[in-house]
Amino acid sequence: MQPGDHFPDYVQGPITRATLALFAGASNDYVPLHIDSDFAKAAGMDDVFAHGMLCMAYLAQALVQWVSSDGLRSWSVRFTAITPVHATVHCRGELVEILDEREGRLARLKIGAWADKNLQTLDGEAVVLLPS
């Protein structure tokens, strides 16, 4: 891989109400905006929406599909939009630069997640050891 190359999209979803309920239980995050439609609508939202950490988990799964978990050196993201219920999450990555080749091909990636291909919900970067 060289700078400018893209990793294959990693796709999860659509996110259902059951997905949100299961993630709430697994993460112990029972914020009503994620699981109670009446509460979300009373708060001015169209409906419930995905936990930000659920989308981060999908992006982490994408990273370890692209490179081994042993190769992940660091990663960070920022939330840019909410992920609506019923959305399909598309995780994407692009190799931006090769940083160091002493221990192998250490590279910086631009990473992110999109809801239904158009709405970017996560924006970030990762430093990884590329497979040889």
State residue 105's pLDDT score. 83
pLDDT tens digits, one per residue of 33-76: 999 999 999 999 999 999 999 999 999 999 999 998 889 999 99
Return the H-helix or E-strand segment holding 21: helix 17-27
Strand partners, 84: 49
CA distance 70 to 117: 29
The length of the chain, given as a count of residues: 132
State yes or no: pLDDT of 100 exceeds 80. no
Predicted TM-score (pTM) of the model is 0.91
Environment class of 63 (CB within 10 Å of its CB; exposed 0-12, middle 13-18, buried 19+): buried
Q: What is the DSSP annotation of 65-109?
A: HHS-GGGEEEEEEEE-S--BTTPPEEEEEEEEEEEE-SSSEEEEE
